[in-house]
Amino acid sequence: MTGPIGAGALILIAYLIGAIPFGMLAGRLAGGVDLRQHGSQRTGATNALRTLGPRWAAAVLSLDLAKGIAAVLLTRALYQAGPPGSPEWVAAAAGAAAVVGHNWSAFIGFSGGRGVATSAGGLLVLSPLTLLVLAPILAIVVWLTRFVSLGSLTAAVAGPLITAMLAALGAVGWAAAAYTLVAGILIVIAHRDNVARLRAGTERRLGERAMVATDDGR
């Protein structure tokens, strides 16, 4: 695929890949649970953990991660033409579009998750060095505080800084730095309610379960 039309088509496809609501599908398979009606009302792995349990959460996490990977790899494979360096920028835009799709999925009324796993999938392809640094930072913050949201927000802020430093050193391209900036902004926007609860002291900690009723009343 070539030119602006090809790039636009691939970015749209990336959005649709990101919009696949794996959390919703997992809830249905787990007993007719609509994640949007429980816990944080988000469709990502953290709410799946609280409402469906660890096995379903692991599946949702893996599939949401795969959405970001697939969006970037597909674009890299199909978009070849343009000015020097443009394929990587189009791939970065596709990765960001997948995060938008995950957070605001057209398939479920423009609701969704918070974009952490899907953005990590894109980052794994665009700048694995950034992810190598960010993963332990997120893990340490969550381990110390038991707040997944705080770990995610810390990673969202640190990601662009780390990737910009790597780009300045020539280790990664500036398209990857732009991707981490956009993805970080999208993650922060999706965590606005978490920020309010963190400030109010009412945010749920990791391990706290949400009360769940299935569609048949159980």
Close Cβ partners of 33 (under 8 Å, ≥ 6 residues apart): 27, 51, 52, 212, 214, 215
| Stretch among 90-99, 133-142, 201-210 having the lowest mean pLDDT | 201-210
Tell me the two tokens of residue 146.
Answer: 């038991």
Average pLDDT, the chain: 92
Strand ranges (DSSP E) for 63-201? Answer: none
Tell me, what's the pLDDT at 31?
87
Tell me, what's the pLDDT at 216?
43
Q: What percent of the chain has pLDDT over 90?
A: 83
* Main-chain phi, psi angles of 53, to 5 degrees: 105, 170
Distance of CA 90 to the CA centre of its chain: 18
pLDDT tens digits for range 34-45: 999 998 889 999
Single-letter residue type at 73: L
pLDDT tens digits for range 118-153: 999 999 999 999 999 999 999 999 999 999 999 999
C-alpha to C-alpha distance for 124 and 122, rounded to whole angstroms: 5
Close Cβ partners of 7 (under 8 Å, ≥ 6 residues apart): 1, 79, 82, 86, 90, 93
Distance between the two ends of the chain, CA-based, in angstroms? 50
C-alpha to C-alpha distance for 86 and 138, rounded to whole angstroms: 31
